[in-house]
Amino acid sequence: MGTGDVYLGATMALREARGPAAPFPCADIRRDTNEGADEHVVRRMFIAPDPGRTRLRSASRAVLGIAGAVAAVAAAGLPLPAVVVGGLAALLALFVVTDRGPGRQAVTTALMPAAGFPVLALAAWLHPYPGARDAAFLAVVFAGVYARRWGPRGHALGVFAFMMFFIAQFLRAAPGLLPELYGAVGLGLGCAALVRFGLWCYERGALPAPAVALPQPRGLRRPTTRQAFQAVLAGGIAVAVGQALSEDRWYWAVGTAWWIFVNTTSRGETLVRGFRRVLGTVTGIVAGLAVALPLHGATAPTAALVAVCVFGIFYTAPVSYSWMMFFVTVMAGLLYGLLGILHPGLLALRLGETAVGALGAAVAVLVVLPVSTHAATDAWIGRALRAVHDFTGEAARHLAGGPGDDLARHVTELDALLERVRATVAPLVHPLSPLRRRKARARTVLALLDECARQVRGLAEVVADPRACHDERLTAACRRVEIAVRRLVPPDAAGSGTPVPGAAAGESAGPHPHADRALEHLHGLETALAGLAVPLGASVRQEPAAGPA
């Protein structure tokens, strides 16, 4: 059963749209960038910091929303395939929709049927015609990736359309099944909306994460355009080789190729993502055989374990792609058993199709408009340094008597940018990377950027105090930090260069009561920025034409 790939989809969309109001903010999670080192990942997986218990709430809401959707579809008397589709629709609505604010999220959720129903009908009508079906599938792949240029809403609708075509292949849906599937999708989306916007809308009133992006180049170098062509090539390879491997389960390979491209910006990221997917699939198959086979499809224990897997998928998704794939694969095995089709050969086929999809993605990123890991990493490092510059300028203006309302926003933006840096630098610090010098350099840069973020958070707490105004020592220290950033990033990229106003004569309120603590944070920030000068050199002085997909 291809439902494992179905449930994988929504979680990885989070990485693609992490900037605007993502449901998994990881501001304070110091993710182990050496994720491939299993001893570190196992030790930290369930004890990783969870600020505001956001991961816990997201995973719990996933179980509630999906369980409600499944129960509603089953209560409506619809068959098991429709129940699966209803659960999928609920999952996508809960986790792929990442617009800023509940209002925009509700609009995107309401638009999902408009994107998914025509694609579902197209897949059903073309199922008897393999050539036309495969061409249509690749067209949906291209359009789904290309739609990411329109932000979180375009991404969410593109994902939903792709998954509707995917699930039609799994179900071998005929036109006669469409009314039941449409009803299941409607019930699933309705239950998800009830949970997300009614019963458990914990995003309401929360400070939305800022959008983090790089300047978008034009033409084929635009990330969404580039990845659309890459994804089509990867999908074409997956279709051809996947069908040679299995005429029945070939779409698993296409699903693998599709999701490997989510939230990757360089060839290194894509290759590492493929490796981690295969690793998670292998370990998940072993666990799935041990857990699912003895159950023989027993409904109650299978449902309970599926709920545990759903929780695990979404709880671990922000921390480890490999662990998320482990839970996806175990859940897939449980669902195969529930349908009475589980056997070791089926799971072995799943592994083979996964490897085919990963191979297709690797070939595509190596031959179609490749973007080096070095270029993508330097672009995001430069963006993070500019966030430090912007925060320091805001702090200096506040210290000179101006408002400091945007201090928290700048801190949140820096945290989001550091997550992007960690994602792009992951291939360089991977245990299998043979580039020892670049690995050491990347680890040094990450450590110093983390230190910058730590000092910025501490400084924000002090500067936000209204009594911080007009302390000239702090203002001067902020200016020095801005100068340190400009040594790493050119002035036209670091900011406008507008001088920070000084305190007006006769307005001094005396030393800030926590001035020593603030100066300590500023000194730590200066030291970290000075340390970055050696590993970065001039590598971030010119921003490449690469950006997030």
3-state SS, residue 39: helix
Residue in this structure with the two tokens 């981690």, named with its chain if needed: 276
Distance between CA 60 and CA 408 in Å, rounded?
27
Angle made by CA atoms 541, 542, 548, in degrees to the nearest 5: 115
> 73-122, pLDDT tens digit by residue?
999 999 988 998 999 899 899 888 988 889 999 999 999 999 999 999 99
Among 42, 440, 36, 443, residue whose Cα is nearest residue 271: 36
Task: State what percent of residues in the chain have pLDDT above 90.
Answer: 37
Q: Per residue in 304-344, pLDDT tens?
A: 999 999 999 889 888 888 898 999 899 888 888 887 888 88
Maximum C-alpha span of the chain: 84
Band (pLDDT 50/70/90 cuts) for residue 37 is very low
Band of residue 184 on the pLDDT scale cut at 50, 70, 90: very high
* pLDDT band, residue 209 (cuts 50/70/90): low
Task: Name which of 55, 33, 39, 450 is nearest 272 in CA terms.
Answer: 33
Q: Quick one: which of 429, 433, 437, 448 has its CA closest to 532?
A: 448
232 CB-near residues (< 8 Å, 6+ apart): 138, 141, 142
In angstroms, how far is CA 445 from the centroid of its own chain?
22
pLDDT value of residue 545:
38
Question: Is residue 159 pLDDT above 90, yes or no?
Answer: yes
Q: Which residue has the tokens 């979680």?
A: 11
CA distance 88 to 74: 14
Confidence of residue 167 (pLDDT cuts 50, 70, 90): very high
Which two three-digit tokens encode residue 46?
Answer: 């369930």
Q: Which residues contact 360 (CB under 8 A, 6 or more apart)?
A: 233, 234, 235, 236, 237, 238, 241, 253, 257
Alpha-carbon distance of 10 to 511, in angstroms, equals 51
What are the residue boundaries of the structural domains of the chain, listed by start? 3-39+48-367, 373-536
Q: What is the pTM of this model?
A: 0.80
Query: Is a pLDDT exceeding 60 seen at residue 512?
Result: no
For residue 256, what is the enclosing H or E element? helix 251-260
The 10 Å Cβ neighbour count of residue 220 is 11
The mean predicted confidence, pLDDT, of the chain is: 80
**Rounded CA separation 390/415 (Å):** 13
